[in-house]
């Protein structure tokens, strides 16, 4: 089974749009998302444009604040503080990476946790780790939704997460622990990775190494979620592939996400969902 992330993302956006239409009938103030973009990183610009288009598609107020890469950290923090006080802004997102002279954590920690729709603020990270309601980072949340669509009861299953980043690996671990999975986190210093992979009913690859997971690594009937986005040269042109060798693994897996078209579309849909949640939390 190939897990169609585009299909699930479309359904989630439709659900969000329906809820926003109901809000518009009752209230003047609707959910608002503001994205801060610093510098002219090409990939970041594309991501931000897609986020803005998706937000407008579902009926949200969406804006992008663009700054030169020379902006000071203190000025950026001042901008965030103003957005915290703005009643029309319910979600604040800092597009990463930031220039090297800016400490990303310092800026993110300035965001009001109630408006932290990326789920990176320490308050949200802490709440997730102890099982309290929180904003979950959008990519692992998208992985979780896709995973639950394939198998509702994950209790007792062995899950292997390849990659221990704060953005994906660690929050994914908390989500699966909450589902009573037995979770193993692998990373660059893990020994016998192939052996660990063969034991897992769920494999989530988020390490940033093209086609790392091969077909003979995967247990037959496993569910494989590929978070990786890697650009490689293929027959003289550029091609995007995941951390999983899709063609060999799909022969063994019960279900697998493709790259592109798997986790990626869900990330933006989950950002919109988090923004709607922020609106509801603030106005409740």
Neighbours of 213 (CB within 10 A): 27
The encoded tokens of residue 91 equal: 């979600």
Q: Which helix (H) or strand (E) holds 123?
A: helix 122-129
Q: Report the side by side order of strands in the sheet with 158-162.
A: 182-186, 158-162, 202-205, 223-226, 255-256
118 given a catalytic annotation? yes
Q: Is 133 exposed, middle or buried (0-12, 13-18, 19+ CB in 10 A)?
A: exposed
Q: Report the side by side order of strands in the sheet with 61-67.
A: 61-67, 32-38, 91-94
The encoded tokens of residue 113 equal: 């946790």
CA angle 181, 163, 97 (to 5 degrees): 130
Classify strands 237-241 and 230-234 as parallel, antiparallel or unpaired. Answer: antiparallel
Which candidate in 51, 170, 211, 277 is catalytic?
Answer: 51
51 given a catalytic annotation? yes
Which candidate in 52, 115, 116, 118 is catalytic?
Answer: 118
Task: Give bridge partners of residue 244 from the DSSP assignment.
Answer: 213
Q: Alpha carbon of 126 to those of 84, 130, 136, 170: distances in Å? A: 20, 6, 11, 11
4 given a catalytic annotation? no
Residue closest to 179 by CA, chosen among 150, 219, 217: 150
Q: Which residues are catalytic?
A: 51, 95, 118
């Amino acid at each position: 089974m190939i897990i169609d992330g585009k299909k699930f993302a479309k359904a989630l956006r439709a659900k969000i749009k329906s809820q926003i239409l109901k809000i518009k009938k009752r209230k003047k103030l609707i959910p608002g998302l503001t994205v801060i973009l610093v510098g002219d990183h090409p990939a970041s610009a594309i991501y931000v444009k897609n986020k803005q288009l998706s937000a407008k598609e579902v009926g949200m107020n969406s804006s992008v604040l663009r700054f030169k890469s020379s902006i000071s950290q203190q000025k950026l923090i001042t901008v965030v503080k103003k957005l915290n006080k703005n009643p029309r802004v319910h979600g604040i997102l800092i597009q990463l990476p930031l220039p090297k002279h800016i400490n990303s954590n310092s800026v993110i920690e300035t965001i009001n946790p109630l408006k932290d729709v990326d789920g990176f603020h320490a308050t949200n990270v802490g709440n997730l780790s102890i099982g309290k309601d929180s904003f979950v980072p959008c990519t692992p949340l998208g992985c979780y939704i896709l995973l639950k669509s394939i198998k509702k009861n994950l209790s007792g299953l062995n899950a292997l997460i390849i990659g221990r980043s704060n953005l994906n690996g660690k929050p994914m671990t908390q989500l699966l622990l909450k589902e009573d999975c037995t979770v193993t986190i692998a990373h660059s210093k893990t020994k016998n990775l192939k052996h660990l992979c063969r034991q897992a009913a769920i494999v989530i690859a988020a390490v940033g190494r093209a086609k790392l997971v091969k077909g003979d690594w995967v247990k037959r009937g496993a569910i494989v979620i590929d978070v990786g986005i890697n650009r490689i040269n293929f027959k003289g042109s550029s091609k995007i592939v995941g951390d999983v060798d899709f063609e060999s693994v799909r022969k063994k897996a019960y279900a697998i996400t493709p790259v592109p078209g798997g986790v990626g579309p869900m990330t933006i849909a989950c950002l919109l969902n988090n923004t709607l949640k922020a609106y509801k939390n603030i106005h409740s």
